[in-house]
Structure 1
Amino acid sequence: MKKIIILLFLSFSLTSYAQDKKLTCLDFNKGEFRNVSPNPNLNSIIIRMGNRQLEITNGVQSYKRIEWLNDCDYVLFFSKKEAKKDNFKKYINKNGGIKVKTVKIENNVLYYNTYYYENKKEVVEEGRLMKTSNHASFR
């Protein structure tokens, strides 16, 4: 009986510790996320592994290459295959990609700003990335 109580206590303690863990930028470099945007058309699921990212928005998949600037900030580039078919994506890639700068992390949410150029004008947008899983796999 004592062994069961000790095991339950240890299990509860480990679960509590895992929930209290403060996430850092490195926790957002790999895993599955939900991108939450003020524009509901831009809400998406993101799966990230190393320097590759898959975004699924309204059932449409988009692959991106990540160029890490540091543990928190990075630049996104559309896949060459996608950029060939879409002039906007080609323009973004040729003009430095989409820069993503971390603003803050609260609980399991990373707040960020994106910066990119459209018609020689800088566009700045805010967003939130909610971590949903450490698991990440795609082709």
Structure 2
Amino acid sequence: MKKILVSALLICGFSSCAQELTCADFKTGEFLIPADSLNAQSFKVTRKDGQQIELDEKGDETLVDIKYKDDCNYILTYNENSKNLDELARYINASGGIRVEVLKIEGDTLTYSGVIENDSLRYEMPGKLVKLK
């Protein structure tokens, strides 16, 4: 009985020592945006110095600029120097970018809401960003 109690206390102690991630932990590093009902494919994302490189499953890279309002809110715009900017990316930039708000962080996963809005459209894009490194 004593061994069970000691073991249970040790497990609780180790699990409570695990560091919880914050919004700031998602500013730099390697991440995954997993495929979901809105995105047919996953993207690997590398963030550093206010920019992110998105790599799709075909190996195409897109450079995205990040303007932080604070640790948990930021605006994404496609960098005009990206080779493969399509009509949608140009439309998003013309609309002021994607306004991202962090909704919650659980474990290594950040859940966000992204909004594209202009005079004639408001489109919300929920999603997840999983920290790899």
TM exceeds 0.5? yes
The gaps in structure 1 that reach 5 residues or longer are 1-15, 134-139
Q: State the superposition RMSD in angstroms.
A: 2.3
- The separation in 1 between residues aligned to 2:70 and 2:34, in whole angstroms, is 23
| TM-score relative to the length of structure 1 | 0.75
Secondary structure (helix, strand or coil) at the match of 1:68 reads strand
Amino acid at match of 1:56: L
Shift of 1:86: 2.5
Percent identical residues: 28
Matches within 5 A, 1:124-139: 124-133=124-133
Given that residues 83 and 89 in structure 1 are in contact (C-alpha distance below 8 angstroms), is that contact kept between their aligned partners in structure 2?
no
Shift of 1:36: 1.9
Output one character per residue of 1:23-57: Cα deviation in whole Å (capped at 9) or x when no partner: 00000000000112413524110000021100011
Given that residues 65 and 76 in structure 1 are in contact (C-alpha distance below 8 angstroms), is that contact kept between their aligned partners in structure 2?
yes
Bigger fraction of residues in helix: 1
Given that residues 92 and 118 in structure 1 are in contact (C-alpha distance below 8 angstroms), is that contact kept between their aligned partners in structure 2?
no
Task: Confirm whether residue 106 of structure 1 aligns to residue 106 of structure 2.
Answer: yes
- The separation in 2 between residues aligned to 1:70 and 1:63, in whole angstroms, is 21
Number of paired residues? 117
Amino acid at match of 1:114: G
Shift of 1:80: 0.8
Equivalent residue number for residue 38 of structure 1: 36
For the structure 1 residues 37 and 120, does the alpha-carbon distance in structure 2 shift closer, same or farther, using more than 3 Å as the test?
Answer: farther
| TM-score relative to the length of structure 2 | 0.78
The gaps in structure 2 that reach 5 residues or longer are 1-13
Higher relative contact order at CA 8 Å, sep ≥6: structure 1 or structure 2?
A: 1
